[in-house]
A = this chain, B = another copy of it.
Amino acid sequence: MRGGKVPAKSSRLIVGLISGTSIDGIDAALVRISGPPTQPRVHLLAFETMPYPDWVRERLLAIAGGGSTTAEEIDQLDTLLGIAFGAAAVEVCRRGGIPPSRPFVIGSHGQTIHHRGRAAGNPRSLENGTYDRLTPWTLIRPCTLQIGEPAMIAERTGAPVVSDFRVADMAASGQGAPLVPMVDYLLLRHARKGTVALNIGGIANFTVIPANAAPEQVFGFDTGPGNMGIDGLVRHFTHGKKPYDAGGRWASRGKVLDPLLQKLLQDPFFAMRAPKSAGHEQFGQHFIQKHFLRVRRARPEDLLRTATEFTARSIAYALDRFVLSKVPIHRIIISGGGVHNRLLVARLGELLPKLRIHRSDDFGLDVDAKEAIAFAVLTDRTMHGLPGNLPSVTGARRSVVLGKISRPY
């Protein structure tokens, strides 16, 4: 078996791969991690985004949105995405000037096509491990499904691959998300400054790191929609031709539809206590259809402006209600595609006038590459036998080593 020898403190090359809840395409980061895995220093060597072809994105969005499919289609997409993730790994290595078998390990988050953080129904009857008295109704259990077969990545690159990061946390009764807070804790904690790391992807989430925090003092959760609603509306009004509202310019020409906004903010998700996680199930195509596209005679720019305001308000609300009253916070460090939406960032600044807003670039974390970098760091932990979840964040019973290892040859 090649690969997998664990460098203890010496520097190691790791590739992180992810496609997020926006289902835009694959982000690949090649990083050099140095120092002990408990105190990693991370240097980004190359970054690559590989957009999905339209038909792949459309099928993934439909399936993730609850649409009908078959085992064959999921299997085909699993394999196809494995090939594509492998190609993205090869490409980011080429950009970084190294052979694709050279990384110590590749960490591939895969593409989430279903995620349920909390149980519904009566899951207790499952816990004793027998299921003969179950009816389908009692079966609604927390579960998460990522596709993009890692054996294809290992075969293509010749490097070992860590995958399926979320299931071990869920097996330990966690919500399987968010996982980036461990990385925020490792890379962004500060001895005297309370920090919020906010990522605005398809879903928005943040990590709260009190000044001089111990791991168990860190918390975080999904605040609700990030770009998901905005992107969904843009795709709808452009018939799939545009994937997002560049710079927030389209929304800037509209005005907020206040009755719609007030109704949206009453969604029970926002008042729920952490841990909580969200996805297409809550804020995807079904949500857009139900709330936005039923408003009569609304102009697209007004709906987009409202969706943008909805994201900004739900983030600010989460901070106000669950964070600022409990922990002194000095700075917000933002990342993710939403950072490029100037309207959204400006509104966040207006809604949170007392906080300093930084971009994660200022801390060596490229705003677009941050999630891919994070999974490279989590992969480093797995290979060193270190836990990757924060039970205070996911609700797990204990910290666990994340992922499965696929070796080439």
- Name the contact of A401 in the complex, choosing from B1, B76, B83 (C-beta under 8 A): B1
Docked-complex contact A70 and B72, CB < 8 angstroms: no
- Name the contact of A78 in the complex, choosing from B67, B142, B143, B172 (C-beta under 8 A): B143
In Å, the complex CA distance between A170 and B172 comes to 31
In Å, the complex CA distance between A126 and B53 comes to 13
Among A124-154, those with CB < 8 Å from B are: 126, 129-132, 134-136, 139-145, 149-152, 154
In Å, the complex CA distance between A108 and B134 comes to 23
Docked-complex contact A1 and B69, CB < 8 angstroms: no
CB distance from A390 to the nearest CB of B (A): 15
A71/B136 contact (C-beta < 8 A), A53-B131, A401-B1, A404-B405 known? no
In Å, the complex CA distance between A404 and B131 comes to 26
In Å, the complex CA distance between A76 and B114 comes to 10
Docked-complex contact A80 and B171, CB < 8 angstroms: no
Q: Which residue of B lies closest to A173 (CB)?
A: B155
Among A361-409, those with CB < 8 Å from B are: 385, 387, 398, 400-401, 403-407, 409
CB distance from A2 to the nearest CB of B (A): 10
A residues with CB within 8 A of B:
1, 53, 55-56, 59, 63-64, 66-72, 74-76, 78-80, 82-84, 86-87, 90, 113-114, 116, 126, 129-132, 134-136, 139-145, 149-152, 154-156, 163-164, 167-168, 170-172, 281, 385, 387, 398, 400-401, 403-407, 409
25 A–B contact pairs at CB < 8 A?
Answer: A55-B135, A55-B136, A59-B136, A66-B70, A66-B71, A67-B70, A69-B69, A71-B114, A74-B114, A76-B141, A80-B131, A83-B129, A84-B129, A87-B131, A129-B156, A152-B167, A154-B171, A155-B172, A164-B406, A398-B409, A403-B406, A404-B404, A404-B405, A404-B406, A405-B405
8 residue pairs, one from A and one from B, having the closest CB atoms: A87-B129, A155-B171, A151-B167, A404-B404, A75-B145, A71-B114, A79-B143, A151-B171
